[in-house]
Amino acid sequence: NYGNVSYVYFGPWGKDASGDLPLLADWPLNHPDQFNVLLNNGKIVTFKVEKLDNCRRLVSFLHSQYKYSEAEFKKMLEIADKLDRMFSED
């Protein structure tokens, strides 16, 4: 079940993609006030946030930090929305 999910997977992005795109992020409900992200460039970043209760909010937060292209942001939102729907049906 989704109570056991640890990460959200956003990749693969490809070798020419921006280094600031997320490959993996902590599942939003694992930590109430922060999350870790493995970026496409191999860097791991920790963000402090409030009320991170779904994947869409996680993606929107990342977009506010990195200003992804419209296509990248749309792809991440599609993944987030799919996971949020799956989680709400659990």
pTM assigned to the model: 0.89
Predicted pLDDT at 1: 53
Q: Can you tell me the distance from the alpha carbon of 40 to that of 68, in angstroms, rounded to the nearest whole number?
A: 13
Judged against a pLDDT cut of 70, whether residue 2 lies above it is answered with no
> Alpha helix locations (H) across the chain?
55-66, 70-88
Identify which of 20, 59, 26 has the alpha carbon closest to the alpha carbon of residue 41.
20
Segment 36-40 mean pLDDT = 96
Mean pLDDT, range 46-58, rounded to an integer:
91
Nearest to 10 by CA among 67, 87, 85, 81: 81
C-alpha to C-alpha distance for 66 and 79, rounded to whole angstroms: 18
Residues 32-60 have a mean pLDDT of 92
